[in-house]
Amino acid sequence: MSSSPNGAAPGREARAGRFPGPSLIPALTAIQHEHGWLPREELVKLSLATRRPLYEIQGLISFYPHFRTEQPRVASVRVCHDLSCWLKDADATIASIRARHGDDTDIELEEASCLGRCEQAPAVAVNEVPTTAAKLENLLADARAGTLVQATAPAAAHRWPNDPYGEGETRYRVLRRALLGDLSASEIIAELKEAGLRGMGGAGFPTASKWELVAAQPATPKYVICNADESEPGTFKDRQILSDEPHLVLEGLLLGMFVTGAELGWVFIRHEYGPEEAVLRAELEVLHAEGLVGNDVLGSGRRFEVEVFTSPGGYILGEESALLECLEGHRGEPRNKPPFPGVSGLWGRPTLINNVETFADVPIIVDRGAGWWSGQGVNGGSGWKFFAVSGDVEVPGVYCVPSGTTIGNLVATAGGVKDGARLGAVQPGGASSNFLGADQLEVPLDFAPVAAAGSMLGSGALVVVAEGTDLLAAATNVLRFFRNESCGKCVPCRVGSAKAHTILGDILAQSRDPGELDERVAELEETMRLTSICGLGQVALGPVMSVVRLERSSQGA
């Protein structure tokens, strides 16, 4: 990332008491990449070179979990213990690794939050190289021998139905039309509005309205950001899109820049997605070679620059204002809203933020028209929808199905419940969504129907739980994730999530009936939902309360 987006004032102004100057996070990331950790002497050099105090640098390092202040061992093993992996015996896997290697001074073991590889549950990484439990010993041997190599993303297996470009066709057709004057910004917004495209990262905000808002702002410069920091348990669809369709993600982002009048854009990607980041950077080289980024692109007089920013870690950075704080070089704590990013975002300037899937859908909607897009859905849905399916299914993975496909049909598409078991419950929209029971398999997977059923489409992550699983234990596992990932800025989330997890742990230890859940948990849920600054605290206890409702319903209460 450049020191300042355009060499002008933004990025060097002290805003709201923040430290002035360009972000130090890319420099810290580079130091860690070179040394494997952050030696103090390197931090002192950075402080002197940038004239930034060491306590500012230490404040950043202490917030972001990816940064290390101690020299790592030969092999750092991380094993996910969140819901999709928990359902696949992550606890037993962790215990087995600890029993085998617990006394090995070359190996350190960490129980990690979601690694974004839920289809390989229980997900494992060795020195940031993703693997499976079955291949762990091979990677440990490579680490000891110094021959461990970074993983690469597999070649795209097939063309997804949201890709308008066939084999051999020239890509970026829609962007070229816009730059050559054959397509106006207002026409693009009109197609997105008619298609009803909404944000696919969880919030579901109308895409056209967001683009229109940023385009209408008089302040400049403006920025466009692709949020590729999906970190919620069960969610990995954006990883697959980045790997298979980087051209669509970047074309959608560049169209967003064209519509809003921005010259600078970023893809903010989680650090666990190293293989996918490499694919993205390779595609950016293609854009440079074809003259679609740079100065005076295609002779249009427009300037487009796109950079990749690697996240220093933390689920909270998926929240758009926390992401902005990180990009600016601060601790990733959510901002109070309003103002919203569309009015006052990165460095206080109008900023458009959409997620990977949203940007990837833009080219085909504009190319084939809103009518075509709407006709691809079923059961009242519009267009195509990517889902990450994990948990107790035969074939976990990413599926692109017509929007409005029922829960039951998607489960069947993924091979059905594993080992022929009956379905107990699902989370239709990732860890933050409420559990739905087996009697709701006919619910169409679209925003309104899922909300009417008592949950949300969320991040497009369907986690399947087989009958016989302790649902309260599953919901407590989800709560542990939110407790661990709370940024700590607001008291309701920081204290409430920890207190609720303690109460639930006691209930599980005593084998109490979930229907007799302590009233304090319900009170905590209401308090956190109404008073937490951001969505993390607002939804943290929702899955727990949904399990209570399911249990009461099954008992005829």
- pLDDT tens across 515-530, in order? 567 778 888 888 999 9
Residue 44 pLDDT: 97
CA distances from 70 to 32, 35, 106, 243, 517 (A): 11, 11, 14, 32, 42
The DSSP letter of residue 78 is: E
Residue 512 pLDDT: 65
Q: Coil, strand, or helix at residue 122?
A: coil
* Closest among 466, 468, 448 to 456, alpha carbons compared: 448
Q: In angstroms, how far is CA 460 from the centroid of its own chain?
A: 11
Residue 514 pLDDT: 56
Amino acid in the structure at residue 440: Q
Residue 16 pLDDT: 53
* Closest among 181, 196, 513, 445 to 436, alpha carbons compared: 445
Residue 126 pLDDT: 96
**Structural domains of the chain, ranges and CATH numbers in brackets:** 75-145 (3.40.30.10), 173-371 (3.40.50.11540), 384-466 (3.10.20.600), 471-554 (1.20.1440.230)
463: CB partners within 8 A, 6+ apart:
83, 84, 87, 233, 234, 390, 391, 426, 427, 430, 431
* Closest among 386, 129, 64 to 275, alpha carbons compared: 129
Instruction: Tell me the whole-structure pTM to 2 decimals.
Output: 0.93
Our separate counts of H helices and E strands in the chain read: 22, 13
Which stretches of the chain score pLDDT less than 70?
1-21, 512-516, 555-557
Measured N-to-C along each axis, helices 185-195 and 356-368 cross at an angle, to the nearest 10 degrees, of 100
Q: Which ranges in 166-206 belong to alpha helices (H)?
A: 173-179, 185-195
The DSSP letter of residue 202 is: T
- The answer to whether 385 and 199 have CB atoms below 8 angstroms apart is no
The DSSP letter of residue 540 is: T
3-state secondary structure 354-417: EEHHHHHHHHHHHHHCHHHHHCCCCCCCCCEEEEEEEECECCCEEEEEECCCEHHHHHHHCCCE
